Amino acid sequence: MRTESGQIFKLGDYRPTDFVVERIDLTFELDPAATKVVSRMILHRREGVAADAALVLDGDELTLDGLQLDGNDIDPAGYAVTPDSLTIRALPESGPFEITVSTTISPETNTTLMGLYRSSGVYCTQCEAEGFRRITYFYDRPDVLAVYTVTVIARKDDAKLLLSNGNFLGGGDYDEGRHFAAWFDPHPKPSYLFALVGGDLGMIEDSFTTMSGRDVALKIYVEHGKEARAAYAMDALKRSMKWDEEVYGREYDLDIFQIVAVSDFNMGAMENKGLNVFNDKYVLADPETATDADYANIEAIIAHEYFHNWTGNRITCRDWFQLCLKEGLTVYRDHTFSADQRSAPVKRIAEIRLLKAHQFPEDAGPLAHPVRPQKYREINNFYTATVYEKGSEVVRMIRTILGAEDFRKGMDLYFERHDGDASTIEDFLACFTDASGRDLTQFALWYSQAGTPLVTVSTDWNEAGKTFSVTLEQSLAPTPGQSRKALMHIPLAYGLILPDGREFEGQPHGGEAGNGVFHLTKRKQTFRFAGVPERPVLSINRGFSAPVNIAMEQSIADLAHIARHDSDGVARWQAINDHATRSLISAARLSRDDRKLPSVAELAEILIATAADESLEPAFRAQTLTLPSESDIAREIGGNIDPDAIHAAREAVMKEVAHAGLETFAALADSAPTGPYSPDAEDAGKRALAATAMAYASIAEGWPDRLKKAFDAADNMTMMAQALQLLVYQFASAEETREALESFRARFADNPLALDKWHTIQAMAPGAKSYDRVEHLLAGPDFDRTNPNRMRALVGAFSAGNPTGFNRADGAGYRLLAREVIAIDKRNPQLAARLLTALRSWQSLESGRQEHARLALVSIREAGALSADVSDIVDRMLP
Ligand code: PHE
Ligand code: ZN
């Protein structure tokens, strides 16, 4: 483990390496405790670099066994070595030379899940961002692109299958009991895309013919016996390959594409060239054990990693500050893929919900950072919602500003100009400027300024003059390290909806606008429309065209008008959601003062009408019926948060809606499709509607019967998990709930992914008592701290997904998190740091909880011997 070194890396300090690596030949002799790695590199000194400049390579916890220059041992005086660096002096001034580095590493004791490690007996690697340096000394940075040849040798009984990047060269018997396989990847790549897998796995196979007629073998490896559960992932892969050809003209470039699913993984998946490694949660699915949401995630992540082949692998990042160059863009690509495969408005609504739930709080708290950070202490801590999700929104805005055609031209230019490069955001933006003629200088601030802009909107209707004007004003609050902000270019899609529901088509004066978009570029701008026949209602930030907060005094009647008439489905949802948010905020305020809550009859009427409106997609109705979450309400309130008051208010509002619409909800609760399960968007939407309706119906009935029946009758995990969750949330102490939990656990005793759900459902049960349940589960026989999925399912779900339980007034939830973070940090710093970010909004709590949270953070800081990952997060969170 790397402990805190205090070193800060800065964007402005970028400098190319002194030496160029042309090729690297790696040989691995796999062994659980002592794997031998021999790396032979062909290098040359970069032009203009001083003759006495040394070659300085990165390492992490390495021991050097041998070092040669052109086949001869280097004299100890000619180099200096530590566990984290190797410096070689006296190298040839010109021409290529060969350096051979030998190291021995121990996969079985590597608990960080970075570098070469073992997961359920399978050897696997994770090298992004800086894991390759845990395998051998190398220039472990993304701008060093080399051609790799990899030979893997292993005992046949230890690793039957031997995989690496690129195309298969050959293999066979090696010596007594051992065999080997050799792989060659012709595409120069950075070290973070290196991968190796060794083990005994099952496989499913298919093939894809590319648009130029080349056949690509597709293979997905999973644990023996789980092959059938990889079928959906394979289907998603083929659809992704086809989509990237059709939408971006991008074709796959090797003879083989392989995916390996492992059970111990720090993130979702990894785009290693030609050999993706996945958290098995995002590969394995069957109706009995995976929910519709799991299927949708698998589709999205398979697509995401595949799309990286062009946006990330063929064009990579110059340095880690440019992470959003590959991640924001690739998220954007997987979002549009899913939108094309499913319902576009429903997909967009889910994205907005996610962005607001994860990225907005990040931007509003102590961990705020720009989409392209300017400095970091630990790069692992920058795989964030800001880099990924806001990074995707920024790309989406480029498309909004340029229009579809010029956006595609810009992307084509990017692929043409930068294929094979390690690029920057400046390179990327220049392609769109050059393709469209549009100046993006001001727009580029989205990459460098942190924080969510606030746009204040006011309107003015002049009845006599038939003019309507819209005044927009932008502001951006200070964030850590950025006290003064410049004015941004904010593209706001809008519509003016007339009383009869038609849209006013005229163009405004007073600022740049076009194609239904206001371009807000100054602090304050007024857009004037003339010849408007009647007072219109303004629909603003349609489709969430910009990731901003909007402040506008809009009457409930106007929101209802938008909800009824807006041509944009997302805007219709947004209007209802805004209405619900308002009701919930005022209910939360009253609940805190122990005052009686006013009726929400108007909101109930809209929700019930939407639920029953068969002209709308079921998935859309389900989204609309899902009230803003407790965290959503807390975020909108902003400060001095009392999670209990918010919970009570939301319960009360749901209850009133449930009683008012019981008949409708009860009927819909039984409307899930029958017959064979299909994960497609249409059936999933129907299940989502039934599941949401079931929540309301059982609240109104006040009795667990319906849920228990639904649980017992469920023939798929979507409905089963929903019924179980509602039993646990609504009827925590009922006998039915105890029975259901027990039967679920027994049924899925040997299915870790299903057992994760069992833990998560209990971890998220509202109320102070859930703390005891979590402690009980942590001590239980099913709990395994070494497995990241299980840790996230219990500790992660409790701390990030249970506002009332985690934020217990006595601070016990925070102390639990601190204790677990300190313990897991010793094994897996990345996981520990990520779990800790659950406290990122601690300063917005009321003062009592705030003090408990602060003390928990201090206790971590004082625990000592922290990893760089955890100390970076703690130091940024504590002022
Ligand atoms: N690059 C991966 C992705 O987004 C994420 C990842 C980062 C995985 C770091 C592992 C380690 O697709
Ligand atoms: Zn990615």
Shortest CA distance to 763 belongs to which of 730, 803, 716? 803
Q: Which residues pair with 118 in a beta bridge?
A: 123
Residue keyed to tokens 């021991």 = 63
Query: Hey, whose CA ends up nearest to atom 1 of ligand 1?
Result: 270
Give the type of residue at 107: P
* DSSP result, 305-374: HHHTTTBTTTBEESSGGGHHHHHHHHHHHHHHHHHHHS-HHHHHHHHHHHIIIIIHHHHHSTT---SS-S
Query: Locate tokens 């429309």: which residue?
Result: 529
For ligand 2, an ion, list residues with CB under 5 A: 327, 330
Judged by its nearest atom, the ligand closest to the C-alpha of residue 128 is 1
Pairwise CA distance, residues 360 & 202, whole Å? 42
Report how far residue 334's alpha carbon sits from residue 330's, in angstroms, rounded to the nearest whole number: 6
d(CA 360, CA 375): 20
Catalytic residue, candidates 223, 305, 362, 630: 305
Could you say which DSSP state residue 792 is in? Answer: I
Out of 112, 140, 270, 324, give the residue to mutate to test ligand 1, the one with the largest number of ligand atoms within 8 Å of its CB: 270
The verdict on whether omega for the bond into residue 129 sits within 30 degrees of 0, i.e. cis, is: yes
Please state the atom number of ligand 1 nearest to the C-alpha of residue 331: 4
Q: Is the CB of 326 under 6 A from ligand 1?
A: no
Atom of ligand 1 nearest to the CA of 308: 12
Atom 9 of ligand 1: nearest residue by CA position? 128
- The span from the first CA to the last CA of the chain, in angstroms, equals 26
Q: pLDDT at position 2, please?
A: 66
Sign of the C-alpha dihedral computed for residues 759, 764, 767 and 768 taken in this order: positive
pLDDT (tens digit per residue) in 692-713: 999 999 999 999 999 999 999 9
Residue stretches of the chain with pLDDT short of 50: none
Rounded CA gap, 430 and 668, in Å? 52
DSSP string, 619-651: HHHHHHHSPPPHHHHHHHH-SSB-HHHHHHHHH
Task: Give the SS3 label for residue 167.
Answer: strand
Query: Tokens 């710093």, residue?
Result: 829
**Beta-bridge mates of residue 151:** 27, 182
Residues 822-845 have pLDDT tens digits of 999 999 999 999 999 999 999 999
Give CA angle at 127 (121, 133), nearest 5°. 105
Is the CB of 271 inside a 6 Å radius of any atom of ligand 1? yes
Distance 272 CA to ligand 1 centre (A): 9
For ligand 1, say whether the CB of 128 is within 6 Å of any of its atoms: yes
Counting ligand 1 atoms within 8 A of each CB, the residue from 271, 308, 828 with the most, and so the one to mutate, is: 271
Nearest to 42 by CA among 101, 99, 102: 99
Main-chain dihedrals φ then ψ at residue 209, nearest 5 degrees: -100, 120
As a three-state string, the secondary structure of 446-489 is HHHCCCCCEEEEEEEEECCCCEEEEEEEEECCCECCECCCCCCC
Q: How far is the CA of 759 from the centre of ligand 1 (A)?
A: 25
Decide whether any atom of ligand 1 lies within 6 Å of the 269 Cβ.
yes
3-class state of residue 754 by DSSP: helix
Ligand 1 contact via 334 beta carbon (within 6 Å): no
> Is the minimum distance from the CB of 302 to ligand 1 under 6 angstroms?
no
> Distance from the CA of 164 to the center of ligand 2, in angstroms?
20
Q: Is the CB of 304 under 6 A from ligand 1?
A: yes
Q: What radius of gyration do the chain's Cα atoms show?
A: 28
Pocket test for ligand 1, best of 128, 194, 282, 311 (most atoms within 8 A of CB): 128
**Distance separating alpha carbons of residues 506 and 498, to the nearest angstrom:** 12
Q: How many CB atoms lie within 10 A of CB 515?
A: 9
Q: Which residues pair with 173 in a beta bridge?
A: 179
Q: What is the ipTM of this complex?
A: 0.99
| Residue 6: per-residue pLDDT | 77
Cα–Cα distance, 369 to 362 (Å, whole number): 8
- CA 393 to centroid of ligand 2, rounded, Å: 15
Ligand 1 within 6 A of 25 CB? no
305 is catalytic: yes
Residue 133, token pair as written in the block: 């340096």
Alpha-carbon distance of 324 to 327, in angstroms, equals 5
What CA–CA distance (Å, rounded) separates 20 from 92?
Answer: 13
d(CA 541, CA 517): 9
CB atoms within 10 A of CB 437: 9
The residues facing 171 across adjacent strands are 181
Residue nearest to atom 2 of ligand 1 (CA): 270
Q: Cβ(646)–Cβ(372) under 8 Å?
A: no
124 alpha carbon, closest ligand: 1
Query: How much is the pLDDT for 114?
Result: 98
Distance, CA 283 to ligand 1 centroid (Å)?
15
- Residue owning the nearest CA to atom 3 of ligand 1: 270
What is the residue with the minimal CA distance to atom 5 of ligand 1? 270
Supply the residue whose CA is at minimum distance from atom 12 of ligand 1.
270
Residue 483 backbone class (left: φ over 0; alpha: ψ -120 to 50; beta: rest): alpha
Amino acid symbol at 226: K
Measured CA to CA, the distance from residue 133 to residue 59 in angstroms comes to 4
The DSSP bridge pattern shows strands 178-189 and 146-155 to be: antiparallel
For 677, list phi and psi in degrees, rounded to 5: -70, 135
Tell me which of 262, 267, 302, 376 to substitute to probe ligand 1's pocket, judged by most ligand atoms within 8 Å of the beta carbon: 267
Ligand closest to Cα of 328 equals 2
The verdict on the CB of residue 226 being under 6 Å from ligand 1 is: no
The Cα–Cα gap between 792 and 253 comes to 36
Q: Is the CB of 317 under 6 A from ligand 1?
A: no
In ligand 1, which atom is closest to the CA atom of 131?
11
| 461 CA → ligand 2 middle, Å | 47
- Alpha carbon of 301 to ligand 2 centroid (Å): 8
